[in-house]
Amino acid sequence: MAEKFKNKVFILGASTTKFGELWSRSPRDLAKECVFQALEESGLELSDVEAIYVGNMLSGSLGGQDHLGAFFAEELGISVPAMKIEGACASGGLAMHAGFTAITSGLYKNVLVVGVEKMTDYKPEEVAKALMGAGADSEREAGATFPSLYAMIARSHMEKYGTTEKDMAEVAVKNHYHASLNSHAQFPHPITLEQVLKSSTVSSPLKLLDCSPITDGAAAVVLSQESGVRSQESVNIIASAVATDTLGLAERKDLTTLKSAVDAAKKAYQMAKVAAQDIDVAEVHDCFTIAEIIAMEDLGFFPKGKAASAIREGKTRLGGRPVVNTSGGLKACGHPVGATGVKQIVEIYRQLRGIAGKKQVKGAKLGLTHNVGGSGATAVIHILKSL
């Protein structure tokens, strides 16, 4: 598959905003902040950018503005091909995939990928309704929300593999520890196992501290055919793969796995010519704690039913391998849905550049991002390599 590509894809610059309840910031402010930081790091000018891909899910349903490609091109003062890419919570990953294919095909030399979402200005019920636009009609008609859907997934995993509420709580504890080392995280402080287990129930067995938050934030990445002047610091995206599954859970044979993630990961490993065991660091889509456990198994890091014990033993914490969600993940760094897939790329890029600060994974050479839309209807996997 890789032989089809005309060009390699290098990341020249990447940036994120602070994540959280940013009531005083507009989407345009957030996007422009990280765009200009990423461009400054890249050494490119705005005039060098040949296309813009914007990952976003909720700008139309919440903000009343769907035309984000032209919107941000105008804000930046450039006239280039620009488009919004939407795929529920995988919108950011799909925008990265679009940018990747644009570079590998030779269509453009330099492109800008932006992920942005503004969620906290709205009532919780408005956000919940908008998010369920990523679900099946039957699920919405039944009054389901994503916490309840992932609660069913959690119950299935518990029944099949003996996973416990404590196992899921261990994911939250680990990711909040990583977030405590990340100044941009929404919740940059550690929590205890007892705090997770005693937090209020959202949809049994999932508790408040098993769930990712509503988040504002943005991220930007500059992609290029050329590695730039700092070749010793270059990061190359060596695989980008997408797969889909049914929108609703009722049509699936097995709720303990996301088939889309398994299929996309298989494609990505083949494209990159690597195996799961080669990955040093990963950012995965832990919208709920059970989602990280399932992701560890779907990605091949651990056998089915064994990820919970691996997390409990600290194998995915800083100091282990593969280290998972050094940013704090969606759970603690925050989940600005359309921006999440881009911010994951930024974190892995920084890890492979060796500029991740206190949360640096020593010797990391190969990283992976796992971005999921809905309850697994879309999955996007990227694999990055330091050169």
Active site residues: 89, 335
| CB-CB neighbours of 350 under 10 Å | 23
What values do phi and psi take at 115, rounded to 5? -120, 130
Q: Could you give the C-alpha distances from 348 to 46, 125, 145, 194, in angstroms and in order?
A: 24, 33, 30, 30
Q: Could you give the C-alpha distances from 16 to 93, 130, 282, in angstroms and in order?
A: 15, 24, 17
DSSP state of 77: T
| CB-CB neighbours of 21 under 10 Å | 15
- Report DSSP letters for 159-177, one per residue: HHH---HHHHHHHHHHHHH
**Closest Cα to residue 346, out of 355, 337, 358?**
355
What values do phi and psi take at 211, rounded to 5? -110, 140
**Is the backbone of residue 189 left (phi > 0), alpha (psi -120 to 50) or beta?**
beta
124: Cα separation from own chain's centroid: 22
What is the β-pairing status of strands 9-16 and 82-85?
A: unpaired
**Closest Cα to residue 134, out of 22, 286, 249?**
249
What is the β-pairing status of strands 110-117 and 366-373?
A: unpaired
Residue 14 host element (H or E): strand 9-16
